[in-house]
Amino acid sequence: MDMLRTEVSAEDQARHLARGNYARVTAADRPGVAQPVPLREVPAQPWARVALGALLLFAVLIAGWEYYWRAFGVTPATRNSDGLWAMQRRRIDNGEGNATVLVGSSRMYFDLQLDVWEKLDGARPIQLAFEGTSPVPFLENLAADPKFTGRLLIGVAPELFFSGYAYRGAALKYYEKESPSQRVGQWLSMHLIEPYFAFYDDDFALATVLKRQNWPPRDGKTEHLSVRKLSVSAADRHTHLWEKVENDPDYKALARKIWLQDFQPSDDDPPPEKLKQMLAEQIDRAVKAVITLRERGVKVLFVRPPSTGPYLEYDNKLFPRAQSWDVLLAKSGVPGIHFEDYPELQGLELPEWSHLTHADAEKFTAALHKIIVRDFWPPDATQAAVR
């Protein structure tokens, strides 16, 4: 048993009166005496009722949080995790190296609809695009993989492609080092949590919600709104714009407000010379990867999906087409489809200037596929038979 304070000399007690008689004796109370291993009896308590009460409280809190977000318009969906991306990347490792693969940023991720492409092409693409992220590192990863011999559509969002910014770039390392326990965790999440809980999204995590509350401003700290939920994904990363962005005027206005803050000049903006250097470096990296892919027989095509309004103005100001897109195509020798060059890829609705509505994303995919088959990748006999 632990010694109580009453069992210690009065002199030692006097030095520790503030701790009270309930406190166990420590080594400081007995200089030079070894500290005994504490043995404590668990007090008798109604533990079953305590556990049941804690469980009920947990259930009530979870149910309340779920109800709150369901009322906000959220429904259960697959989380766009690094593990989910790794599952799609492994399809190439497991025998689908001849597939059509998509890399790019959120426009390629949200706007190209896998269902429509599969219906028109006879096979479902592998979706490897990522929001807020340059595709160049993923392009290099595919170039280094001899198992990939298919077709590659590369989405180009100028702000990201030519800057090299990789918000989700860690997915590559995750894929390369994913452990068995992480794979099991991904499976459990997809089968036991994601189909049933709407709040299970990074945007609705309690810490995230608390962070974006309207706290009093701090000196020297500029308020910056983080990007909110924009899309809904399925298990194979088939993704489209969230209907709340389309149909809720307040939420659409919030999405636009978030983009607008990024278009304003900032002290963190790189100087013009640095921008030119970044542009040249990213083009050189992409060209090197594309050359490797084409030498292996991979068909490659660049795609510039639509943007509009202030976002298009920002793209053009940051990386003008003549200095970025045109140079990329010239140096790589790879053809490209720029939405401004094709009337059938224009006149579509982009609620927050950067991504298409679900319905117009389907129209865009159908029109894009038609252009590709007509002008760049005519179907071979096998594909024609499938259709």
45-59 pLDDT tens trace: 899 999 999 999 999
Q: What is the pTM of this model?
A: 0.86
Question: What is the C-alpha to C-alpha distance for residues 25 and 7, in angstroms, rounded to an integer?
Answer: 9
| Confidence at residue 267, expressed as pLDDT on a 0 to 100 scale | 80
Parse the chain into domains and list their residue ranges. 1-41, 45-72, 75-214+227-386
Compute the half-sphere exposure of residue 282: CA atoms within 13 Å on the CB side of its CA.
29
Predicted confidence band of residue 15 (pLDDT cuts 50, 70, 90): low
Instruction: Report whether pLDDT(384) > 80.
Output: no
Question: What is the C-alpha to C-alpha distance for residues 165 and 262, in angstroms, rounded to an integer?
Answer: 14
Question: What is the C-alpha to C-alpha distance for residues 318 and 304, in angstroms, rounded to an integer?
Answer: 15
Residue with tokens 């399925």: 234
Q: What percent of the chain has pLDDT over 90?
A: 81
Predicted confidence band of residue 25 (pLDDT cuts 50, 70, 90): low
Q: What is the pLDDT of residues 142-176, one digit of tens each?
A: 999 999 999 999 999 999 999 999 999 999 999 99
The H or E element that residue 248 is part of is none
Q: Which of 51-55, 117-121, 221-225, 252-256 has the lowest mean pLDDT?
A: 221-225
The phi, psi pair for 247, rounded to 5°, reads -110, -15
Question: What is the C-alpha to C-alpha distance for residues 303 and 368, in angstroms, rounded to an integer?
Answer: 9
Residues 6+ apart with CB under 8 A from 50: none
Residue with tokens 């290099």: 140
Segments in the chain forming alpha helices (H): 10-14, 47-72, 82-93, 106-111, 114-121, 136-143, 158-161, 171-177, 180-188, 206-211, 243-247, 249-263, 272-295, 309-318, 325-332, 358-375, 381-386
Residues 6+ apart with CB under 8 A from 169: 133, 134, 137
Residue 145: both structure tokens together = 């993989």
Q: What percent of the chain has pLDDT over 70?
A: 88
| Confidence at residue 386, expressed as pLDDT on a 0 to 100 scale | 40
Instruction: Report whether pLDDT(385) > 60.
Output: no
Instruction: Report whether pLDDT(17) > 50.
Output: no
In order of 24, 34, 169, the CA distances from 15 in angstroms are 14, 19, 57
Question: What is the C-alpha to C-alpha distance for residues 300 and 335, in angstroms, rounded to an integer?
Answer: 8
Q: What is the pLDDT of residues 328-337, one digit of tens each?
A: 999 999 999 9
Residues 6+ apart with CB under 8 A from 260: 310
Predicted confidence band of residue 387 (pLDDT cuts 50, 70, 90): very low
Question: What is the C-alpha to C-alpha distance for residues 104 and 61, in angstroms, rounded to an integer?
Answer: 39
CATH superfamily placement of domain 75-214+227-386: SGNH hydrolase (3.40.50.1110)
Strands 231-233 and 239-241: antiparallel
Question: What is the C-alpha to C-alpha distance for residues 94 and 289, in angstroms, rounded to an integer?
Answer: 22
| Confidence at residue 1, expressed as pLDDT on a 0 to 100 scale | 43
The Cα angle at residue 92 between residues 89 and 94, in degrees rounded to 5: 110
| Confidence at residue 8, expressed as pLDDT on a 0 to 100 scale | 54
Residue 176: both structure tokens together = 């390369």
The H or E element that residue 145 is part of is none
Question: What is the C-alpha to C-alpha distance for residues 160 and 134, in angstroms, rounded to an integer?
Answer: 5
The region, left, alpha or beta by phi > 0 then psi within -120 to 50, assigned to residue 31 is: beta
Predicted confidence band of residue 224 (pLDDT cuts 50, 70, 90): confident
Q: What is the pLDDT of residues 184-197, one digit of tens each?
A: 999 999 999 999 99
Long-range contacts of 323-332 (CB under 8 A, 24+ apart): 323/279, 324/158, 324/161, 324/162, 324/279, 324/283, 325/156, 325/158, 327/283, 328/156, 328/283, 328/286, 328/287, 328/302, 329/302, 331/283, 331/284, 331/287, 332/286, 332/287, 332/290, 332/291, 332/300, 332/302
